[in-house]
Structure 1
Amino acid sequence: MSENKAKILLLEDDSSLGLLLSEELELDGYRVTRAGTVEEACRLLSADTPDLVVSDLRLPDGDGLELLKAAQMNGHSLPFIVITAFGTVDQAVDALKAGADDFLTKPLSTDHLRLKIHRLLTQADLTRQLEQFLSQSGTDETLGLIGEHESMVRLRSEIRQIARSEAAVLICGESGTGKELVARAIHGSSERSSGPFVAVNCAGIPGELMESEFFGHEAGAFTGARQARKGLFSEAHGGTLLLDEIGEMPLALQAKLLRVLQEGMVKPVGSDHEEPVDVRILAATHMDLPKAVQDGSFREDLYYRLETLSLRIPALRERGDDVDLLAMHFIREAARRHKRGFLKISEVTSRVLMDYPFPGNVRELASAIERAVTFCEGDTVQPDHLPERIRKRQGGAVNLQSARPDDNISEWPTLEHLQQDYVREVMHAVNGNKRRAAQILGINRRTLYRWLASSEPVSDGSGGPGSEYPDAGTPQGVH
């Protein structure tokens, strides 16, 4: 579903306010159906299920929660926003307990409402995608790799093409991006899928034992070798061998690996005879192998033999909304392991996760969600349940250390200057789009306009004050 074609049911008895809100939302591309009573809204709900509901709380023939209950009884799980001019903490708690997703009070900022609607529709769309991925898990559609970002779509396409080959493959990516999952996807999509898949971490094997581990040994080949043992190459015969962290492999063994790739033969330690092996080699690394080649720690001929077919796995920070998709997947998995019921993720938590750069990639996200589910006592994961480093956005764009040129405390920048610098950085990053900047900053556009007005204008060379930031529309409020 495209968000801009989403259907919204608006229940508001104030006709002027209802008209204003519907016009504002229609300008954003939504299809809006209006109702003035609970009875009318229930009838519209039965006739055509919307994608999201915005409902006033107090209405002539009841309250908005009656519409929510009617939707639930009909089996509809819809994003539901309650608005009222008489908001109290108790009412908010009651609405959220009843299943509403958000509770807004009047006077209402249309920018704030837009942001809430966008967030809820995005999350609902991601939930549908996740359901689709789970239903197709392990099939040719997803290859067992969750993600809808264009980089993941391209990666799955490349895996399908590479799977048809028998050549060695080099899988590159930062730690925690899922290199072994990609290797398993290649194996599972290949004609070797019925054969064994053997994975070994080259960094986890002592150098003096590595040759024996890979190629096997004869009885008596060295002290402690009481009986002959098959190596990993022989164990993977007819299938696939993943050499993870291949950059940690000693140079002497690299030469023997190159011979295996060229000849398809291995020689066990202590043996006078070579043995044929039928193995496809997949190599994975987070290292910069071209630099290792220059430094002399990795063989150039082996690198070019592996690099012929290479894949790059994108870092999590490059994958946009996949963070949300993966977070919901990990929440479901963790909830199942902990024997918990259905858990959801709050909007604030989702924004915190989206703002964090995840240097540990998908592995770090999975660990953070495991902790969050462990400490979550209700049915919604909140920011307080996440690790402190993520809550405090230690990976954020503002580098406070670099903002302090020396140890002279009197010269440290003020909070106002840091705020101005950060706002300018965000505005540059979004090419002056005030609506997008406000979303990233977690404020409404009115506040952003005030912050921009209080800072020095930035010129684009045309001489006009503030001309670097094109106007994205005047912020509006509804009272």
Structure 2
Amino acid sequence: MAWFRLASSPRSAPLRARLLAAGLRDADARTPEASTEGAPGVVVLAEPSALGGPVWPPGGSGRVLVAALPGVRVDPWGLLARGAADVVHLDGDDDLAPVLERLTRWEAVDRLVTSGEVTATSVGTSTRWRDFLRELVEVARFSRSPVLLTGETGVGKEVAARLVHRLDPRRSGGDLVLVDCTTVVPTLAGSEFFGHERGAFTGATAAHEGAFARADGGTLFLDEVGELPTGLQAALLRVVQEGTYQTVGGTHRRRTDFRLVAATHRDLQADGFRADLYHRLAASHLHVPPLRARREDVVPLFRYFLAEQCADGRAPDVVPEVAAALEEREFPGNVRELRQVAARVAARHVGEGPVTPGDLPPEDRPVGSTDGSPDPADRWERGLEGAVRDALRAGVGLKELKARTADVATRAALDIAGGSGAAAHLLGVSRRALDYRTAALERDHAARSTDPSSEASS
């Protein structure tokens, strides 16, 4: 159920009553039912200063709408940068239509994202993957537009295309027709897409249905569309625009109605692809995130692929050491590479116990220190990444991150080394530079301690 937050003001009480009557939960109420975890919500601004820090409440992970009451001026782009999904201006204190319409859509999208229809083939609960699925589900279910899926090799673009087909409400039993554009032979491309009549050319002993006919009433998925020959790009554009085509050797045009989904790992705009066709394909452009951007999903995906290899469909648990090794791996081949690792592990794993370090083939094992303890370099990088992720979620930008990191490093070096000379050596800077930074830190601390507002902001 959607939630709301409302800053205290003379205008708040009637509006709070209307929001409660509309079925929204007060996120600031001190009750278990007020939890915002995973649910979409709205933050209503009665005055610009009512909102400080990130727009989502603690523990929240759903999309957030910021609604400004009449007379309240806000910077929508700044709010979006701080985590808002959208910003609307209300025409009156009792104008809830823009709020309720968006929340209704978001709740419908979230129900689909967590439905068996989606989770059966889409594994992952990381923030990056969840946000991608929300975009995909909304485009697939609530639009008629073509979809362009971009991303590195092996990230799961075909899985995403199948989801678009499955969720498209206009399709009543139509097929998903997949054409791998890397295998299209230029001399036979016309027949592959348009089909041909019997006797249309030498060897055409029977009529053949092309991809446009087979996809009628369904979805045409062009994998690696960047490899499509230039001549076919122009022909495809005409079919997409007009919804008609003519078979090779045919005498009249036929109608076809399909949803077009295309995928590529290339930058089409930089690779000489037809600009007019690109803009048609990219009516809805979704970027499938690489596996390294969703490390929390690595182990669940690994177990999902292990289950595919097991006769009973159940995957064994994974000991922490193996889980850590998988999460730290870069996986340049993305999900496809992880699937192959799972297949190799399944061939070595015996019994019903968990996957242990020895189940990983030698080529899949991490390079550790000689005494078996974790590499300190790996430890600090993992810790830094975790801290940066937390800071970004809290609305800290790159400029502030750099300054804060330098401050923390200075204090840590002084603490570890016990003196400024040794600390400067640890940091790789001159003694003078360290003294300058230390003095700046002390001035900043003194200024904050004398600022009356410092307690409220700390």
- TM-score, length-scaled by structure 1: 0.54
Partner of 1:305: 280
> How far off its partner does 1:427 sit?
6.8
Instruction: Tell me the residue number matched to 2:427.
Output: 458
Q: CA deviation at 1:229?
A: 0.7
RMSD of aligned alpha carbons: 3.4
The one of 201, 208, 214 aligned to 1:229? 208
- Aligned twin of 1:152: 129
Instruction: Write out the 4+ residue segments of structure 1 that deviate beyond 4 Å after TM superposition.
Output: 339-342, 419-433, 452-456, 459-462, 464-467
Instruction: Answer yes or no: is 1:179 the counterpart of 2:150.
Output: no
What is the CA-CA distance between 1:150 and the residue it aligns to?
A: 1.5
| Contact 1:459–1:466 (Cα < 8 Å) also in 2 | no
* Alignment-derived partner of residue 166 in structure 2: 188
1:187 touches 1:193 (CA, 8 Å); kept in 2? no
Query: Is the CA contact 2:246–2:253 (under 8 Å) kept in the aligned structure 1?
Result: yes
Matches within 5 A, 1:17-96: none
User: Which of 189, 194, 203 matches 1:210?
Assistant: 189
What percent of counterpart residues are identical?
38
In structure 2, what is the equivalent of residue 266 of structure 1? Answer: 245
1:381 to 2:355 alignment: yes
Aligned pairs for 1:461-472 (under 5 A) are 463=434
- Evaluate the alpha carbon distance shift between residue 432 and residue 279 of structure 1 in structure 2; reply closer, same or farther with a 3 A threshold: closer
Gaps of at least 5 residues in structure 1 are 1-132, 395-418, 434-447, 471-479
> 1:257-406 to 2 correspondence within 5 Å?
257-293=236-272, 298-334=273-309, 336-337=310-311, 343-378=316-351, 379-392=353-366
Look up the SS of the partner of 1:283 in the other structure. Answer: strand
Amino acid at match of 1:159: L
- What SS is found at the alignment partner of 1:380? coil
| Residues 1:263 and 1:212: Cα distance change in structure 2 (over 3 Å) | same
Give, in angstroms, the shift of residue 386 of structure 1.
2.5
* Alpha-carbon spacing, 1:277–1:381, altered in 2? closer, same or farther (3 Å): same
Aligned position for 1:35: none
Aligned residues, how many?
288
Paired residues for 1:103-142 under 5 Å: 138-139=116-117, 142=119
| Structure 1 residue 158 displacement after superposition | 1.3
Question: Quick one: distance in 1 between partners of 2:255 and 2:220?
Answer: 15
Q: In structure 2, how many angstroms separate the alpha carbons of the residues matched to 1:320 and 1:237?
A: 39
Q: Cα 1:183–1:148, aligned 2, differ >3 Å: closer, same or farther?
A: same
Check 1:393–1:219 CA distance in 2 against 1; reply closer, same or farther (3 A cut).
farther
State the TM-score, normalizing by the size of structure 2.
0.56
Tell me if the contact between 1:241 and 1:281 (Cα under 8 Å) persists in the aligned partners: yes
Q: 1:187 is matched by which residue type in structure 2? A: H
Report how far residue 194 of structure 1 moved.
2.5
Please, which runs of 5 or more residues in structure 2 have no aligned partner? 1-110, 369-374, 390-411, 442-458
| Alpha carbons 2:303, 2:315 under 8 Å: kept | no
Residues 430/239 of structure 1: CA separation in 2 closer, same or farther (3 Å cut): closer
CA deviation profile, 1:128-173 (whole Å, cap 9, x unmatched): xxxxx9x966436x37311111122112211222122222110111
Cα displacement string for residues 263-319 of structure 1 (whole angstroms, at most 9, x for unaligned residues): 0011111223211111111111111112113xxxx1111111111211110000000
SS in 2 for 1:237: coil
Residue in structure 2 matched with residue 126 of structure 1 by the alignment:
none
